[in-house]
Structure 1
Amino acid sequence: MFRGEGSINLDKLKQSLANVERNYIIQPNDYLDVRVYTNKGERIFDPNGELPFGAPGGGVGGVNRSTGVGQRGGNRNTGGQNNQYGNTQFLVQYDGQVKLPMVDYVKVTGLTLLQADSLLQTLYATYYVDPFVTTQVVNNRVFVLGSPGGQVIQMTNDNMNLLEVIALAGGVGGGSGQTQYGRANKIKIIRDYMDHDPIVQVVDLTTIEGLKQASLHIEPNDVIYIEPNQRLFFEVFRDIAPIVSTILGTTSAIITTVLLINNLK
């Protein structure tokens, strides 16, 4: 997969790195985890569970992270045994707006998370005293292909790097359960792959010099391809092992039958 020699579109890569160093900009189809507090950070107490951001019984409003991203559109309900958590995650629509309780539609695309916090604090000041708002994007992820197998790694923060993602995927070889071994000197970071002119960076982790020269910054939706180490002899042997076993078994049965016939004469 993804065959090619060396890195591609280095100029676009430099521009992309400049964007990575900035704070994350909210985009359409992001899921925002929005938390609203009152009195500059106090939890909203809602014993009846009627307020959109209230925590029933004074508990901490939140969402069970193990359920992953829910159905598209509107806010996300965790349901089941986790229904004690509030519905605090909302989809940013294609037009850049997100529909939030009480303040209705708010345009958030093009804003950093800190700017979104400030905007929402102003809007919720109509309903709460000294509101404190935090927003976080919860559906950013990267894709790891190749020797570790296909994996989707959720980005827990905006500063994740290549080494952290590879570690979460189980290492270059994908851990002890994998039969393939990866080539640490040919790790490809593929960015803007939906574009007709994608960015490809080849990273060599076998030497300190290669580590110094590479950019390890990861963006949401990046594809990390770890090229498998082709062990031709072992792969061919693994493929033909069942055939060889069948032939040896058949030959052994024939020889045994011939010896028995000779002994009976």
Structure 2
Amino acid sequence: MLIFPIVFSSCIPHRDIVYLQNKEAATDSIPVITEKQTPYRVQINDILNIRVRGLDQSNLTIFNPVGDENLDADREERAYFDGFTVDLHGEIRIPILGKIGVLGYTTEEIEKMIEDKLLKEQFKETANIFVSVKLTGLRYTTSGEVGKPGTNILYQERVNVFQAIANSGEIPVTGNKKNVKIIRQYPQGQKIHSIDLTDVKVMESPYYYIQPNDIIYVEPLKQKTWGTGTTGVQTLGTIITALSLVTTTVLLINRI
């Protein structure tokens, strides 16, 4: 009779593997969720892609990479060499303009900053200067119980945690979806945040959308360390196999 408690305790419950459950209501209908996303503020070691446009483009070539027209080729490598890396002092170095402090600013604020500096020091209003600043891809790392651990880069403005994990091979049944860790970079250091992917309210979390250099860690469920299986059938099969082995061993010993 002890087999049944072992079977039920070692298999993984359905509620632990289903995403986005409405845990506060009796029905399965998903309520309207208000997403919360704060503007990303540039950190040290970020790489910025800066483009300057104007009526006379020939006067602006010094501000733009030579390979601008072939941006899709070897995108990651080109972004590294042609982009502007934020140094340890929170600054980038732009031709003619020199060093500009960008740490803690949004890309929109940096665009305005560079545009104002160009109009003040190099060009007139009639030049119709237009500055575009983007992050050179959203780089993040997944580790732990995911299909393909490692570092990935997505060339999108917004990436939520489900998209990031799906791009990393998904979380297997043995991964703890209720306590996914987000390790995030801040000017003062790193912080660890936890989110529950089985709760629909995760979409209201400020950590639902990932940020550059985030580390997503999925810890294994305790059932994995037991090695008895992830479902009741697997667990029962493991127990029966173990009991058969013990019985066979005892019978062989008694025959000796």
Q: TM-score range by the shorter chain?
A: 0.5 to 0.7
Structure 2 counterpart of 1:142, from 133, 140, 143: 140
Amino acid corresponding to residue 201 of structure 2 in structure 1:
K
In the TM superposition, residue 116 of structure 1 has moved relative to its aligned partner by: 0.8
Match of 1:189 in 2: 181
Counterpart secondary structure, 1:186: coil
Query: In structure 2, how many angstroms separate the alpha carbons of the residues matched to 1:163 and 1:96?
Result: 31
Matched with 1:168 is 167
Corresponding residue for residue 21 of structure 1? 37
Runs (5+) with no aligned partner, structure 2: 1-35, 231-256
1:212 to 195, 201, 204: 201
1:68/1:146 CA distance change after superposition, 3 Å: farther
1:132 aligned partner: 130
Helix, strand or coil at the partner of 2:114: helix
Q: How far off is 1:172 after superposition? A: 1.7
Q: Who is 2:234 aligned against?
A: none
Please state how far the C-alpha of 1:95 moved relative to its aligned partner. 1.5
Task: Tell me the alpha carbon deviations over residues 89-120 of structure 1, each in whole angstroms, 9 at most, x when there is no partner.
Answer: 11112222211112111122232111111111
Aligned to 1:199: 192
Q: Which amino acid aligns with 1:232?
A: G
1:31 aligns with 2:47: yes
Alignment partner of 2:177: what SS?
Answer: strand
Q: CA RMSD in A?
A: 3.6
Q: Where does residue 227 of structure 2 map in the other structure?
A: 232
Deviations 1:156-187 (A, max 9, x none): 345311111011112223xxxxxxx5436335
CA deviation after TM superposition for structure 1 residue 234, in Å: 7.0
**Could you tell me which of 45, 56, 60 is aligned with 2:69?**
60
Report the Cα distance in structure 2 between the residues aligned to 1:202 and 1:112, rounded to whole angstroms: 25
Letter in 1 for 2:150: Q
| Offset from partner CA, 1:48-73 (integer Å, 9 cap, x none) | x97342757xx737474243764xxx
Whether the aligned pair in 1 keeps the contact of 2:180 and 2:196 (CA below 8 Å) is: yes
Percent identity, aligned pairs only?
Answer: 20
Contact 2:161/2:209 (8 A) holds in 1 = yes
Structure 1 partner of 2:19: none
Aligned residues: 182
TM-score by length of 1: 0.56
CA contact (8 A) 1:54 1:61 kept: no
Q: Which amino acid aligns with 1:224?
A: I
CA distance in 2, matches of 1:158, 1:183: 28
C-alpha separation between the residues in 2 aligned to 1:193 and 1:110? 12
Alignment match, 2:105: 111
SS at match of 2:49: strand
Q: Which of 141-150 and 194-203 deviates more? A: 194-203
Determine the C-alpha separation between the residues in 2 that align with 1:98 and 1:37.
19
What residue identity is the alignment partner of 1:131?
Answer: I
**Cα pair 1:25 1:111 within 8 Å, conserved:** yes
Distance of 1:123 and 1:193 partners within structure 2: 29
- Give 3-state SS (helix, strand or coil) of 1:29's partner: coil
Report the CA distance shift for 1:202/1:98 in structure 2 as closer, same or farther (over 3 A). closer
1:122 alignment counterpart: 116
Q: Is the 8 A contact 2:176 2:220 kept in 1?
A: no
